[in-house]
């Protein structure tokens, strides 16, 4: 090839490459796909009696930090590839042959759609506590990768999850987050700081339950009871026995019986005040009457695992008018 033509080709490729780099920079061009069926937002495990699922969470007894992120996934659920790449494994995390000691690594790329050149290295992640369909070969983003292993057999009552760990042990949280939907229309808030306080100890951001074998925790989630009903509240993750706080100041009234069968979690309370009215269910309050201030101890979480083994333990938070309380809970994040 003449030298001038070669120079022209190199210049053209460099120009296209530079443009693509700006549009699709490494690790920023797009977020990962859904990893577990029933958890479309890659919701991260909150805190339970075994610990917390966020990146950097402390690990008891060893002074170590959590080097990955725990994506909620019900035992036996289908698992999908977060991005396209090459499989390798198996990955043994526990090295003891227990029921969840399996996993796989995916090494993938940030694709440059306009370049007819090899892609440059991009992602490398380990997915642990799953059994893959295969340990080697290519896999495409969103393609079925395997199934979730029976975590409840090893850690009864834990929030079942896939351990997602970047090969370089950097934080994968941002890549797991779904694309942010358009903002909801503004709604009036009755007080200047309408963000509710954290409802449960160990869950400072009021993280909402994802999906498990019993259903999903977001507002409007379908209920598989044969009646075509929708979830009239929001399930805020809370470990059995954890301390529960008042989300805002108001007047208490109760008890509130949700199940009407006297089971271990059939208790709750209503708070009315500060422009809000809400029912908190599956908790045992310190008292059922009187005033309470925002952030004051309200009671404790009841033993949900006794009634629904393996569920993501939670407080059912329901507005008295059955409107969506998600916005008030979300506005408390980071505060």
Q: 208-237: per-residue pLDDT in tens? A: 998 888 889 999 888 776 667 889 999 999
Per-residue confidence at 117, pLDDT binned at 50, 70, 90? Answer: very low
Distances (CA, A) of 22 to 30, 83, 134, 137, 333: 13, 20, 35, 30, 31
The residue among 204, 261, 267 whose CA lies nearest residue 236 is 204
The pLDDT mean for the chain works out to 82
Region of poorest pLDDT, from 53-62, 94-103, 210-219, 298-307 = 53-62
pLDDT for the residue 331: 53
* DSSP-assigned beta bridge partners for residue 104: 127
Strand bridging mode 161-166 / 85-88: unpaired
pLDDT for the residue 14: 44
pLDDT for the residue 62: 67
Cβ pair 163, 66 in contact under 8 A = no
Question: Which two tokens mark 216?
Answer: 């999903």
The residue among 148, 312, 155 whose CA lies nearest residue 239 is 312
Task: Give the phi and the psi of residue 122 in degrees, each rounded to 5.
Answer: -130, -85
CA dihedral over 306, 308, 309, 311, signed as positive or negative: negative
Domains of the chain with bracketed CATH: 47-176 (2.70.70.10), 211-328 (2.70.70.10)
Is it the case that residue 167 has pLDDT exceeding 50? yes
Q: What is the DSSP letter of 64?
A: E
């Amino acid at each position: 090839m003449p030298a001038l033509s070669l120079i022209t080709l190199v210049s053209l490729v460099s120009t296209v490459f530079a443009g693509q780099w700006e549009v699709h920079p490494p690790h920023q061009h797009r977020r990962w796909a859904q990893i577990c069926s029933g958890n479309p937002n890659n919701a991260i495990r909150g805190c339970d009696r075994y610990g917390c699922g966020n990146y950097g969470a402390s690990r008891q007894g060893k002074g170590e930090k959590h080097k990955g992120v725990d994506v909620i996934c019900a035992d036996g659920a289908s698992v999908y590839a977060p991005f396209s790449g090459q499989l390798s494994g198996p990955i043994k995390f526990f090295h003891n042959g227990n029921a969840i000691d399996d996993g796989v690594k995916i090494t993938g790329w940030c694709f440059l759609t306009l370049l007819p050149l090899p892609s440059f290295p991009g992602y490398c992640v380990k997915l642990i506590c799953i059994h893959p369909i295969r340990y080697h070969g290519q896999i495409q983003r969103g393609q079925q990768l395997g199934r979730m292993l029976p975590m409840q057999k090893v850690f009864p009552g834990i929030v079942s999850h896939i351990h997602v760990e970047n090969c370089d042990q950097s934080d994968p949280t941002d890549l797991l987050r779904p694309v942010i939907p358009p903002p909801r229309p503004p709604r009036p808030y009755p007080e200047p700081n309408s963000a509710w306080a954290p409802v449960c100890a160990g869950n400072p951001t009021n993280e909402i339950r994802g999906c498990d074998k019993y259903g999903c925790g977001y507002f409007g989630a379908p209920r598989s009871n044969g009646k075509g009903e929708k979830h009239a509240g929001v399930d805020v993750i809370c470990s059995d026995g954890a301390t529960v706080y008042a989300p805002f100041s108001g007047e208490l009234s109760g008890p509130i019986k949700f199940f009407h069968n006297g089971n271990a979690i059939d208790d709750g309370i209503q708070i009315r005040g500060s422009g809000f009215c809400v029912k908190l269910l599956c908790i045992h309050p310190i008292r059922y009457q009187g005033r309470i201030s925002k952030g004051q101890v309200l009671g404790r979480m009841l033993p949900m695992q006794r009634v629904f083994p393996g569920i993501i333990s939670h407080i059912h938070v329901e507005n008295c008018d059955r409107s969506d309380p998600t916005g008030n809970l979300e506005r408390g994040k980071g505060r």
